[in-house]
Structure 1
């Protein structure tokens, strides 16, 4: 079994994942070339904010089968289609101001261990790159990061009742962020942790 990175845009593989692909720790497949066999061979899946969600609906059965086997899916972006029972569509923030982009850690998670969420609020001094809304938390899901004063779940981890896990980040690809927080310093979300989570090497 291997990790599957779906390449959904023109140009090279996203730089943070290129080393893992080159080393054979992950496979990159262009979205237009996806087949059921790619999901059968995968134990983990990473999709980017560029995913063609309408086209990806055709792979819902193969996706569910991968999850049923205990597979893991790291989803970046706005959930606009219900690929799996229990998922709901993205909710944007309404007329957000700077305070609405504040990030709060709601529960500990190995992907974010030791990372101050406030260090991810700004990129080059501009807020909103981390996300501007949330994918609704499924029943039984674990909220990881809240956005704004209402602590809306911009990041969550869900152990599906049927098996497998989904991690949802409702914004730009989290693995590629530098996390520049101005006077707060610089941190980021290491791609190695996302790969390890998808491989089941770190839990939950």
Structure 2
């Protein structure tokens, strides 16, 4: 196996959008794909990051949530993009839809600068061919101490990093797959590669911190 492909293990949901990732050449060098229902049988030790998409079977993940907890407590990373409705992700809360009165209610704001969104314009995240609402339509209440990256107009946190709920790091985005942005237009296409680099840097930090104590 290509060494880079042990960096990211993406659970294949079996959906049309999931298969698009499996067959996309841009993902072949860095991602290994496995059927979601094989998760309890996969040897996870080599992998640095578990990637979970929004169309995942959350009832199945709930039944095997200890696998995800153990992965994180091994000082690893989980990236989830979607809407939580079951308690399978440590520190996670159920998704709350945004009350919409205008298309402007979907406007994305960068709460503070972060490497994942470096050079990414807010409008490029908000609008897709002039239509808003594709990037995020609500939020998850954040766990204590979480780092908020992106918000909606009412200050709702749509993207956050949680380093406190486990010994690892959890990135939650209440919307479309952040890795899918590699095929986007405009500055939004920066998100995928920058997220990949951030995960690698975060993993190195977690491991170094573990070695120190």
TM-score w.r.t. the length of structure 2 is: 0.81
Whether 1:48 aligns to 2:49 is: no
Higher relative contact order (CA 8 A, sep 6+): 1
**CA offset at residue 65 of structure 1?**
0.9
Q: What are the residue-to-residue correspondences of 1:1-204 with 2, within 5 Å? A: 2-11=7-16, 13-15=19-21, 18-19=24-25, 21-23=27-29, 25-148=30-153, 150-177=154-181, 186-188=186-188, 189-200=190-201
Deviations 1:84-138 (A, max 9, x none): 4421100001234222111111122211111112221111111100111011111
Structure number with higher strand proportion: 1
Q: Distance in 2 between matches of 1:17 and 1:195?
A: 18
Aligned-pair CA distance for 1:21: 4.9
How many equivalent pairs are there? 197
Judging changes above 3 Å, is the alpha-carbon distance between structure 1 residues 102 and 10 closer, same or farther for their aligned structure 2 residues? closer
Single out whichever of 77-86 and 193-202 deviates more from structure 2.
Answer: 193-202
Deviation by residue 1:157-181 (Cα, 9 ceiling, x = unmatched): 111243111111101112324666x
Q: Secondary structure at the match of 1:67?
A: helix
